[in-house]
Structure 1
């Protein structure tokens, strides 16, 4: 306690300077854009303590709000998807607009361009924080200490506007926190974090701790119940914004949109939940999903506050994954954000998503593992020609380890790597030099940030070439360091069969080849993962869809299953992720009474073949269990 008091005393003059508009007048030349890299500047922890004292905001409330907004990161002074800056996510944006979701290929994409959306006004908290503190808007954007003070000043104003006392009791700050985040659900999550506590190393190396306060119980306003039509738990207060099921040509029942009527899980078991990002604003995504000529998915989650809209009932089939088999067996969840700005996936969105996905997984019996909770970038291509058109979201910055902890299923394993491994790098320390985050300078390196993916090489050495993916890169197969190129990457939570070891290097079987990654004892990137492995027989084929052996109907061209033309050899081993039975949902007419489900006894195993999951027929492999 005495150390904390000394820290507050040492920083009091600094915050007074912030309030007077003279922040860092004598230190500005020594500060970097991130704001806290100078040895003469205070720690992030101290900045929260000082700002809380200066503006009479409970430190736990200030830390809790900031954690939900940014996970205490600075993101290098770059704006979020909703125009927010810094640890307190102070916003300044005239409008948000976009041209639809997930621009790119995939079998279910490209039939119609996503509709344009009108400009949407956003809150302007950055100018308001500047007025309250007297600090220049530019400094509030890039200086974490000033940014934190600005957030504290806003909270204090919201508390006064609610006619509540400034003071140390967190329970009195519920209304102010709700206004700051925008929803009662946001405030509920802030107080949940306050009760449980949190410790994290930020993107610029600052260790921040919010001590647990189990007795912190806010005086909460009555929430709005979930819309009756949604499949959400009531606590999430989801909004129902329906996607249209409509015949587009009155003379042609084969032309309709934007999803498929079905009867899941009674008719078809749901085996997967697919995590997407929108590559657009929330408003643009919601506008797109209401267009009958476009595509339909089940849920969209807003970044700034975790608000959820449902568009398609879970019983129905969405068109979202670019693979018809996965579509018919999955639930699609879109998250407002961009692969290249993935460091700004907010804690509010992570928590809302985890609560939703955890509920859906429990309701429909979907296993909580990386074989069934898939990123869109893990969905297989239905055929070799489709692989290069598949999508890359949510990308290498999505924090899978954190996400699975929120799901109540933390990823873990022993450190002695043997026959089967799980990729599990330290997210904060795992800084890969990606390119392509700035569309104007595609060869420039992305801002340094932790991530969930590791690079794979042809030999054990940091300068060895990256492994090839002839499906994603037809012809040369040559991989790049682009943030959008996952052809030589393995991601957190994915499991692989070990193909060799050399010192601190481990090889795994990946797309028919040995792929090497660095796994030093001092900073392990993988752990042992007991489970099952399949060994390929001589005639083994790799499939992107688990279809019946024979069909009495002909699927549309974009739903045809073909064996993948990767070169594989007998004896190669791959981690077994799950099992499927041959199934094809034939829905080619607006009249849903004519939709037919075809099944047979053909058995498949789902395997981790590369960055994506694929399928092999059980007759083409042998199975072993490793401890």
Structure 2
């Protein structure tokens, strides 16, 4: 009877859900829900807030499920509701090796991956049904009512604490084991990495306005030291990190992609190399999986499929490495970029804005990237930390098939804050360069083609800004001549979009509008002073040398023909259908030598790195980067 009485306020909240939809909740309602649930289940409010922040950053996503079927601020999972959408993506029509010297791979069927039944689901994917049993609240209420969802999370934490034989203490330091168990991880390393992140949030504190306009605050406790001993009694398995190349601050395992021969001239699914000696490593490429964890792992272990270096799990940030950094994975669709990059696949979907990327995964990814960048000397900027959607087509023919993930709903601004490289404004207001930096939550760009051609995407924050041919939202979108089709508002159409962290030279200004040089033309975006979508920047820009009306651009920085030794076919420079016109300026990200890694056989003894005398500049040309010969341009600093 006492338990039922405690649940009455929550039941009333759930029964009034329809009424709540017609009137906005007070901005403090979610904070009060955390306080009420903490008191009801005797969980420290700070612990409840910290766990929720790591799951959703307190967002409710209007009751939409995440990629793993997680709901609400506590990300309570019921993956049975999303099984039909978590099958792995189909085989890419594009050859993700991106090397025209290699024959196109023979078509091979996508391996069948049976979606797990409800009984086969791991515990981390069915926490919502358990929360329903603990609270007496309906699954529907736990999915759609934030207050009920928070109560469900509090009940799960309290149950985990009791299962460990621990008291329901008021001291947050005593809840480390329960927090680790809340992650749903079945191994000690992943559970501990998750709990460590939660306690880091508790030490630093957070304050944020959520996607529903709720203001939530977690006060900092900088001296908080958790008591970790209870985790040893949790009965979790020991996960081996042997073979994996990861920092100690993340949970990581080695799940190798096969380097196997399956025919006279076919092998997969990566190439052996000796990086960073031959060739070096300059880029990290961020992808999303377009599929659920189990299916993705099955795909990367198929020798007839493609490969990438690391996969990151949504629920708890766990990492699996598949290809050693010394070897070349096939993931970017551009052989030059593949040979010089490390590819990271994040569990998620580009065209499902509310199938969100969790904070746990963002933080694990940022720690991995920080580690890799320090190890291989990779600058932490947006011309070296690329999205797959920023990788250029290697040739004109390859442009239309280039991928567009992780898409406009990946929060680059938050990601770079976690990397310790926030996109700060340069001093002064009249700079000749800008860094794209909209407020992600408030920047609700309208996209289409989510869930079907022409269908509108759900309203959601975005890290991209839309680009127009004039300072008017009724004007035409800028056109990407390389794509060959009319520009659209489709979520996969990147031709008229600039992304957070990218830098461009200012071409013009008009009231609240700013124009940048983009794809060889003026591209306008709304940039009001009261709510700017870009901030001043400084850097170097490239423009054609005097006397030239325009110079060619390339999707790869290959050496000149005379650099190729006997036995290695010379690769054509193959200019793209773009120009860097006279009088236009484009931000320079790096100067690189012309190089080609020749690797067309299973064995590595015939692989060669061809290096020439020609040098190139990588520039931010459109949404994607491009390369221009250093001999064709002059580079000057801007202030």
Correspondence for 1:336:
347
Equivalent residue for 1:210, pick from 215, 218, 241? 218
Correspondence for 2:67:
81
Give 1:16 shift: 3.8
Equivalent residue for 2:522, pick from 514, 519, 526? 514
Q: Aligned runs of 1:476-487 on 2, under 5 Å?
A: 477-487=485-495
Correspondence for 1:99:
88
CA contact (8 A) 2:96 2:331 kept: no
Question: Which whole-Å CA distance do the structure 1 matches of 2:91 and 2:480 have between them?
Answer: 22
Question: Which whole-Å CA distance do the structure 2 matches of 1:294 and 1:604 have between them?
Answer: 32
Correspondence for 2:288:
277
Deviations 1:211-246 (A, max 9, x none): 111122222246967623111012323100001111
Give 1:42 shift: 5.6
CA contact (8 A) 1:82 1:304 kept: yes
Q: Aligned runs of 1:301-380 on 2, under 5 Å?
A: 301-343=312-354, 344-380=356-392
Question: Which whole-Å CA distance do the structure 2 matches of 1:89 and 1:471 have between them?
Answer: 41
Question: Which whole-Å CA distance do the structure 1 matches of 2:217 and 2:90 have between them?
Answer: 36
Partner SS state of residue 234, structure 1: coil
Question: Which whole-Å CA distance do the structure 1 matches of 2:274 and 2:255 have between them?
Answer: 20
Correspondence for 2:431:
418
Equivalent residue for 2:445, pick from 428, 432, 443? 432
Correspondence for 2:41:
55
Partner SS state of residue 370, structure 1: coil
Deviations 1:561-590 (A, max 9, x none): 521112542222111111110000000111
Question: Which whole-Å CA distance do the structure 2 matches of 1:279 and 1:553 have between them?
Answer: 42
Equivalent residue for 1:23, pick from 4, 8, 13? 13
Per mean C-alpha deviation after superposition, the further-off stretch among 71-80 and 487-496 is: 71-80
Q: Quick one: structure 1 residues 545 and 150, their matched pair in 2 at CA, closer, same or farther if it must change by over 3 Å?
A: same
Q: Quick one: structure 1 residues 485 and 15, their matched pair in 2 at CA, closer, same or farther if it must change by over 3 Å?
A: farther
Partner SS state of residue 235, structure 1: coil
Question: Which whole-Å CA distance do the structure 1 matches of 2:97 and 2:192 have between them?
Answer: 36
Question: Which whole-Å CA distance do the structure 1 matches of 2:424 and 2:254 have between them?
Answer: 37
Question: Which whole-Å CA distance do the structure 1 matches of 2:567 and 2:62 have between them?
Answer: 52
Question: Which whole-Å CA distance do the structure 1 matches of 2:437 and 2:605 have between them?
Answer: 46
Q: Quick one: structure 1 residues 395 and 371, their matched pair in 2 at CA, closer, same or farther if it must change by over 3 Å?
A: same
Q: Quick one: structure 1 residues 576 and 449, their matched pair in 2 at CA, closer, same or farther if it must change by over 3 Å?
A: same
Question: Which whole-Å CA distance do the structure 1 matches of 2:239 and 2:249 have between them?
Answer: 7
- TM-score (norm. length: structure 1): 0.92
1:532 lines up with 2:540 in the alignment: yes
Ranges in structure 2 where 5+ consecutive residues have no aligned partner: 99-103, 186-190
Q: Quick one: structure 1 residues 277 and 54, their matched pair in 2 at CA, closer, same or farther if it must change by over 3 Å?
A: same
Q: Quick one: structure 1 residues 216 and 225, their matched pair in 2 at CA, closer, same or farther if it must change by over 3 Å?
A: farther
Q: Quick one: structure 1 residues 510 and 126, their matched pair in 2 at CA, closer, same or farther if it must change by over 3 Å?
A: same
Question: Which whole-Å CA distance do the structure 1 matches of 2:325 and 2:593 have between them?
Answer: 21
Partner SS state of residue 577, structure 1: strand
Deviations 1:442-496 (A, max 9, x none): 3232222111000000000121111111222x1xx42111111111000000001
Equivalent residue for 2:302, pick from 281, 291, 295? 291
1:45 lines up with 2:58 in the alignment: no
Q: Quick one: structure 1 residues 194 and 224, their matched pair in 2 at CA, closer, same or farther if it must change by over 3 Å?
A: farther
1:605 lines up with 2:617 in the alignment: yes
Q: Quick one: structure 1 residues 268 and 46, their matched pair in 2 at CA, closer, same or farther if it must change by over 3 Å?
A: same
CA contact (8 A) 2:239 2:253 kept: no
Give 1:411 shift: 1.0
Q: Aligned runs of 1:104-115 on 2, under 5 Å?
A: 105=94, 107-108=96-97, 111=105, 112-115=108-111
CA contact (8 A) 1:15 1:149 kept: no
The alignment covers a number of residue pairs equal to 602
CA contact (8 A) 2:88 2:290 kept: no
1:495 lines up with 2:503 in the alignment: yes
Correspondence for 1:245:
259
Give 1:40 shift: 6.4
Deviations 1:287-306 (A, max 9, x none): 11101111121100000100
Question: Which whole-Å CA distance do the structure 2 matches of 1:594 and 1:148 have between them?
Answer: 59
Correspondence for 1:397:
409
Give 1:167 shift: 2.3
CA RMSD of aligned residues (A): 2.3
CA contact (8 A) 2:97 2:334 kept: yes
CA contact (8 A) 1:171 1:218 kept: yes
Question: Which whole-Å CA distance do the structure 2 matches of 1:246 and 1:52 have between them?
Answer: 54
Question: Which whole-Å CA distance do the structure 1 matches of 2:330 and 2:584 have between them?
Answer: 34
CA contact (8 A) 1:457 1:466 kept: yes
1:201 lines up with 2:209 in the alignment: yes
CA contact (8 A) 1:104 1:391 kept: no
Q: Quick one: structure 1 residues 40 and 192, their matched pair in 2 at CA, closer, same or farther if it must change by over 3 Å?
A: closer
1:549 lines up with 2:584 in the alignment: no
Deviations 1:54-90 (A, max 9, x none): 1111111101111111111111211111111111111
Partner SS state of residue 270, structure 2: coil
Give 1:560 shift: 6.0
Give 1:543 shift: 0.3
